[in-house]
């Protein structure tokens, strides 16, 4: 059973639909008890970082996520804002603390040339780490769909699973222990995105 975290910030319908297309049984998790019942977790997100963290806190989900992910080791997939929430802090609209699971900051895109539009909206090629369990059946430079103005800047380059170029290197995916997260939207990335979700379901960190 996959637990899709519902904290009022996610594109739940499209993520749920994509997960079900690759064979997942999905349930919405709105509280800690819900998270205790699932084997894997997906943390989606669309919107502003500060609102994301406030909503997780209001619903008592921060402690429940820490219990499930950090202490019980359940595999988790963060998508877009869900990935950014895993960083220690974000500079979107000021400085705001995140979950602190990744030694990383969330910073604004500053593409060079500056004529490149921010937010980045649309398809972009990624380059992924050789042997990645999430991209293993994909071609060398697959396209994924991005919608974002900020990205996760990692202290430790070893956790970067994939990057893209948008007027400079941008973190496209990270992996750390039982944590996997993408800046792009696999649920909107057609066949390649479905493959990433499929590989997450069978991933054994």
Lookup result for tokens 């079900």: 20
Asked if 96 is an active-site residue, the reply is: no
Q: Is residue 25 flagged as an active site residue?
A: no
Strand partners, 41: 3, 76
Q: What is the CA radius of gyration of the chain?
A: 16
Which of 29, 187, 198, 199 is flagged as catalytic?
A: 187
* Candidates 29, 52, 80, 164; catalytic one: 80
For 77, phi then psi, to 5°, come to -115, 120
Could you report how far apart the first and last alpha carbons of the chain are, in Å? 17
Q: Indicate which residue of 29, 161, 185, 199 is catalytic.
A: 185
How many beta carbons lie within 10 A of that of residue 80, not counting itself?
28
| Distance, CA of 36 to chain centre | 20
Q: Is 103 a catalytic residue?
A: no
Residues known to be catalytic: 80, 185, 187
């Amino acid at each position: 059973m996959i637990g899709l975290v519902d904290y009022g910030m996610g594109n739940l319908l499209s993520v749920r639909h994509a997960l079900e297309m690759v064979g997942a049984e999905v349930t919405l998790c709105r509280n800690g008890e819900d998270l205790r019942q699932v084997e894997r977790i997906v943390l989606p997100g669309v919107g502003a970082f500060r609102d994301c963290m406030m909503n997780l806190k209001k619903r008592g989900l921060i402690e429940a996520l820490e219990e499930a992910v950090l202490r019980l080791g359940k595999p988790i997939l963060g998508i877009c804002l869900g990935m950014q929430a895993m960083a220690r802090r974000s500079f979107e609209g000021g400085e705001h603390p995140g979950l602190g699971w990744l030694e990383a900051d969330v910073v604004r895109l500053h593409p060079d040339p500056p004529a490149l539009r921010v937010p980045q909206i649309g398809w972009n090629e990624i380059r992924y780490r050789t042997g990645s369990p999430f991209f293993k059946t994909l071609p060398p430079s697959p396209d994924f769909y991005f919608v974002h103005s900020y990205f996760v800047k990692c202290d430790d380059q070893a956790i970067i699973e994939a990057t893209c170029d948008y007027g400079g290197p941008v973190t496209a995916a990270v992996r750390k222990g039982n944590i996997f997260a993408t800046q792009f939207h696999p649920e909107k990335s057609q066949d390649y995105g479905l493959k990433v979700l499929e590989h997450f379901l069978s991933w054994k960190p």
